[in-house]
Structure 1
Amino acid sequence: MEALAVRLSGLDSYAEGAIRVVVFYDTLMRRRVDLPALARASAGLAECPAGIRIHGTGQVVRAASDGTPLSGPPGAASSTVPIVLDEEEIGAVWLERPGPPVPLDEVLLDRLAIAAAAVLERYGPARTTMADPALVELAISADGDQAARARALRLLGFAASAPLCVAAVRSALPLDRVAGLVCASRPVKSAPLDGVGVIMAAAIDTSGFPPDVRAGVGAAGSPDRSWRQARTALRFTAPRRPVVHHDDLGALALLARIPPDAMRDNADVAAIARLSAEDLETLDAYCATGSLRRAADVLHRHHSSVARRLDQIG
């Protein structure tokens, strides 16, 4: 590579500088440096503060141009590049140059991002959340044998005997971002499966789900049982209750076992199915609050209007 740099140095000053930056980071990667060493070397090369952030752990490493570690909140970034591993953005690198970026900043940050991804892949502390859907399906399937499930769990980074919590998610947001919000600690794995997002972790913080995300969460235990519970809980989500934990359903979970044809043949169910969207919203608010006045507050209507509509529905 050094010989190639010498031969290409005659092209122009930018090409020569870019090749030297590439050689610089190739040398660092051969030496198997860690993130702090990468930040120090990059700051020295750029002659301005440099930083590395890992999304999954919240780790931030910054260094001044003289190699001194920097603490406190990062300064304004003059240039930023994402760290990508297995097609997932797992962090970012940046320069805190006082003025505008210089021509080689983009090349420097591109190589720094590649080097940081190589370090994280080799040592951690951040592994990707997205996993092979085939492995996830094998881990949560009720039909697979225990040996195959145990092997899949080990390949995903979980202990075969450890209880796992599984969530079934419908979201327009990237699944890895949702997983990072509800599973701040690692390991956590996610994958799309049959049109539904699967999130697996030792524990899932249901308060972390973003708005407009529908999620059903199973109890911690066997992953196949937790997945079955999560899919059931997902069926009970609604605009006023977008996240449902299976344990909170109680006896209502038994409704999911009724054959669809049997439900459709029931006269009361058929009558509810014929209600307008406005009537369904009124009925949902009343059943959720258990009070005429509280339902009126939720619907932003006068309680007498809600009472008349409930009479009509009845």
Structure 2
Amino acid sequence: MEALAVRMSQLGSDVEAAVRVVMFYDTLMRRRVDLPALARASANLAECPAGIRLTGTGRTIRMTPDGREAPGPPAVTTSAPITLDEEEIGTVWLERPTPAGLLDELLLDRLAIAVATAVERYGPARTTMADPALVELVIGADTDEAARARALRLLGFAADLPVRAVAVRTPHPLDRIGTLLCPDRPVKAAQLADAGVVLATTVDASRLPPDVRAGIGAAGIPARSWREARTALRFTTARQPVVHHADLGAVALLAHLPEDAVRADPDVAAIARIAACDPDALDTLDAYCTTGSLRRAAAVLHLHHTSVARRLDQLGKALGLELTEPAGLLRAGLALTAWRLLSG
């Protein structure tokens, strides 16, 4: 309202016309008109083609002043973003063959507000970011099923589709991550205290940037999926930034061991001593445990395999394990994973 008042104060003798524009869109919103009607009315008011595009769905509406769909490609002359829940969800524009009119900016402002209102009214908002309170109801272990079902419905998820939870730590905007994980179906995200949460019916983690850590729970009961996702997130590393809980198998049990018992384990204590003295040595151990091969580890580390063999021999002596033997490699891998879980 403050921005509107400033803009109208700059119009001088055209303030009366500006008030009519504001009242025009207020009337359209009260009548709950749909998007085609908004585009049609705007084109008629502006006396030039007007357009609306929603980013999430790709839907585009263009109308001429006489109420028909505009032919040919759009020739945008003036545009404005559509914002809902502090997220840009699309664009509105005018296609004026003459210089922009004095009221065009105000007209597009009010059109964008009317479009956002209509999008929110006629179905779940096409934004990725969601009310954290609703998301917490969905993933909460103590939420009763009626409240969970209502929260899912308000977020736009169909009752008969299983929802998958993803726990995320990312330097990128969370709404972008949600869109990358699930570009074509409903997806909602919210930032909680310790991690971002993304809810979706399908997940494609291959689209994530390499600097994003993500733990993915199984589809089904959202509360269980979220617990799995948070556990999987704890197992992520720079070398393995995405972890599916289902792929962890029995290794996931490490996350539920008492911390005191883990710290007291001789193998974990040895890993901690090595980390304090030579952190790079653990990268060599990680590469070897991950690949299971001296030559593949050397390729990952960009070293000659003899250099890796020498490092592993030193590590084996420090750990008191024979790393070339399956039993020694298994113990070292478990100890390294347990130590990471402790150190966060």
**What TM-score, normalized by structure 1, do the two folds share?**
0.83
What is the Cα deviation at residue 59 of structure 1? Answer: 1.7
Is residue 2:121 matched to residue 1:122?
Answer: yes
Higher-Rg structure is 2
What is the Cα deviation at residue 225 of structure 1? Answer: 1.0
Cα separation, 2, equivalents of 1:68 and 1:278: 67
Residue identity in the other structure for 2:250: A
Cα separation, 2, equivalents of 1:230 and 1:254: 14
Counterpart for residue 252 of structure 2: 253
Counterpart for residue 239 of structure 1: 238
Q: How many residues align?
A: 305
What is the Cα deviation at residue 259 of structure 1? Answer: 1.9
Cα pair 2:124 2:155 within 8 Å, conserved:
no
- Partner residue of 1:290 out of 286, 292, 295: 292
Cα pair 2:63 2:69 within 8 Å, conserved:
yes
Larger helix percent: 2
Query: Which has the larger displacement, 59-68 or 192-201?
Result: 59-68
Cα separation, 1, equivalents of 2:16 and 2:63: 26
Is residue 2:178 matched to residue 1:179?
Answer: yes
Cα separation, 2, equivalents of 1:201 and 1:292: 39
Cα separation, 2, equivalents of 1:281 and 1:66: 68
Cα pair 2:185 2:202 within 8 Å, conserved:
no
Cα separation, 2, equivalents of 1:83 and 1:278: 49
Unaligned runs of 5+ in 2: 1-7, 317-344
What is the Cα deviation at residue 88 of structure 1? Answer: 2.9
Query: Which has the larger displacement, 141-150 or 83-92?
Result: 141-150
What is the Cα deviation at residue 68 of structure 1? Answer: 4.3
Q: CA 1:142 to 1:40, structure 2 compared with 1: closer, same or farther past 3 Å?
A: same
Unaligned runs of 5+ in 1: 1-7
Q: CA 1:42 to 1:155, structure 2 compared with 1: closer, same or farther past 3 Å?
A: closer
SS at match of 1:90: strand
SS at match of 1:22: helix
Residue identity in the other structure for 1:141: G
Cα separation, 2, equivalents of 1:302 and 1:267: 31
Counterpart for residue 338 of structure 2: none
Counterpart for residue 56 of structure 2: 56
Q: CA 1:22 to 1:258, structure 2 compared with 1: closer, same or farther past 3 Å?
A: same
Cα separation, 2, equivalents of 1:47 and 1:301: 69
How far does the alpha carbon of each residue in 1:233-259 deviate from its partner, in whole angstroms, 9 at most, with x for none?
111111122111111222222222222
Residue identity in the other structure for 2:183: A
Cα separation, 1, equivalents of 2:97 and 2:297: 56
Residue identity in the other structure for 1:254: L
What is the Cα deviation at residue 168 of structure 1? Answer: 0.9
Cα separation, 2, equivalents of 1:97 and 1:208: 39
Over the aligned positions, Cα root-mean-square deviation in angstroms equals 2.9
Query: Which has the larger displacement, 296-305 or 214-223?
Result: 296-305
Counterpart for residue 113 of structure 1: 112
Cα separation, 2, equivalents of 1:312 and 1:102: 76
Q: CA 1:71 to 1:241, structure 2 compared with 1: closer, same or farther past 3 Å?
A: farther
Q: How does 1:1-314 map to 2 (within 5 A)?
A: 12-64=12-64, 67-70=67-70, 75=75, 77-96=76-95, 101-124=100-123, 126-158=125-157, 162-273=161-272, 274-275=274-275, 276-314=278-316
Cα separation, 2, equivalents of 1:129 and 1:255: 33
What is the Cα deviation at residue 182 of structure 1? Answer: 1.6
Cα separation, 2, equivalents of 1:247 and 1:74: 48
SS at match of 2:219: coil
Cα pair 2:123 2:156 within 8 Å, conserved:
no
Cα separation, 2, equivalents of 1:302 and 1:71: 63
Cα separation, 1, equivalents of 2:153 and 2:66: 43
What is the Cα deviation at residue 162 of structure 1? Answer: 4.2
**What TM-score, normalized by structure 2, do the two folds share?**
0.77
Q: CA 1:95 to 1:308, structure 2 compared with 1: closer, same or farther past 3 Å?
A: farther
What is the Cα deviation at residue 14 of structure 1? Answer: 4.0
Query: Which has the larger displacement, 99-108 or 198-207?
Result: 99-108
Cα separation, 2, equivalents of 1:43 and 1:172: 41
What is the Cα deviation at residue 267 of structure 1? Answer: 1.8
What is the Cα deviation at residue 271 of structure 1? Answer: 2.1
